């Protein structure tokens, strides 16, 4: 029998909290402080083996959830992109606490909505959300280009996505006023707006100093 060795503490291989979900995901280190003047790019991934989100029924349910949770208690959902197995958001919040509560509330609303649609129970998201604070006009413009053009980017890589329109209607692009081109989406007036207006200088004015977006632009 091997002797029991006294431990002196320290990190051990395999120790610590394991990420939730089907695969290693977002770091569980303490999140960075957030000033209200900075928008945030948030990404969250679904658990494996769930139905794809880019279907009419799922997207209609998601839009309803977005509309109900887009402007609550210092948290604002400004832009989004719906991919088959993950979601992107560009949001504003009054601080780290408002961001955390706002995103968690939105994700709970989304999970309940999707579970009702899919007639299932249980977790919907693989792990906690990832966030990236956008601190400059260039960063904000890049994030907008990434979120609004993400599906086009995946389609170009052959990832089983098709985006036949100039803009991706599974994003907030139909409500975006920062395109160089004039975009008309038929029937938009009959759809409840799923996002709210930006308040921060970076999302209203700052990013435009680097030029409006073109529908032909793709994420780098």
The enclosing domain of 190 has a CATH number of 3.30.70.1290
pLDDT at 120 over 90: yes
125 is a domain residue: yes
Which residue range(s) make up the domain with 60?
40-208
30 is a domain residue: no
Average pLDDT over residues 191-220: 94
The pLDDT assigned to 154 comes to: 56
The pLDDT assigned to 2 comes to: 34
Mean pLDDT of the chain: 85
Average pLDDT over residues 189-209: 97
pLDDT at 194 over 80: yes
23 is a domain residue: no
Q: Is the dihedral of CA 108, 111, 115, 121 positive or negative?
A: negative
How open is the CA angle 47-51-56, to the nearest 5 degrees? 130
4 is a domain residue: no
C-beta separation of 100 from 76 below 8 A: no
Average pLDDT over residues 40-51: 96
Contacts of 184 (CB under 8 A, 6+ apart): none
Average pLDDT over residues 152-171: 66
| SS3 category, 56 | helix
Determine the Cα–Cα distance for residues 115 and 135; give it in Å rounded to an integer: 35
3 is a domain residue: no
Q: Is the dihedral of CA 118, 18, 107, 175 positive or negative?
A: negative
The pLDDT assigned to 34 comes to: 94
C-beta separation of 181 from 214 below 8 A: yes
Which one, of 148, 132, 134, lies nearest residue 206 by Cα? Answer: 134
33 is a domain residue: no
pLDDT at 216 over 80: yes
The pLDDT assigned to 108 comes to: 96
Residues paired with 130 in a beta bridge:
43
CA 205 to chain centre: 22
Q: Which of 6 and 165 is assigned the larger pLDDT?
A: 165
C-beta separation of 123 from 186 below 8 A: no
Q: Supply 111's token pair.
A: 């999970």
What is the number of domains present in the chain? 1
Residue pointed to by tokens 């996505």: 161
17 is a domain residue: no
Q: Could you tell me the maximum CA-CA distance found in the chain, to the nearest angstrom?
A: 77
Q: What is the DSSP letter of 74?
A: T
Determine the Cα–Cα distance for residues 53 and 44; give it in Å rounded to an integer: 13
Average pLDDT over residues 42-64: 96
185 is a domain residue: yes
């Amino acid at each position: 029998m091997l002797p029991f060795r006294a431990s002196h503490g320290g990190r051990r291989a395999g120790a610590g909290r394991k990420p939730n979900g089907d695969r290693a995901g977002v770091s569980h280190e303490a999140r960075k402080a957030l000033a209200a003047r900075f928008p945030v790019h948030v990404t969250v991934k679904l658990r494996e083996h769930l139905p794809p989100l880019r279907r009419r029924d799922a997207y209609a349910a998601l839009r309803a959830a977005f509309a109900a949770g887009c402007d609550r208690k210092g948290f604002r959902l400004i832009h989004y992109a719906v991919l088959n197995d993950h979601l992107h958001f560009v949001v504003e919040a009054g601080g780290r606490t408002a961001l955390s509560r706002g995103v968690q509330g939105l994700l709970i609303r989304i999970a309940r909505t999707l579970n009702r649609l899919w007639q299932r129970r249980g977790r919907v998201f693989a792990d906690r959300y990832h966030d990236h604070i956008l601190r400059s006009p260039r960063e904000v413009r890049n994030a907008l280009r990434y979120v609004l053009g993400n599906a086009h980017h995946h389609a170009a890589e052959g990832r089983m996505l098709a985006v036949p329109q100039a803009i991706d209607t599974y994003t907030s692009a139909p409500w975006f006023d920062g395109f160089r081109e004039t975009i008309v989406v038929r029937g938009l007036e009959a759809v409840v707006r799923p996002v709210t207006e930006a308040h921060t200088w970076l999302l209203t004015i700052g990013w435009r100093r680097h030029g409006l977006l073109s529908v032909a632009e793709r994420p780098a």
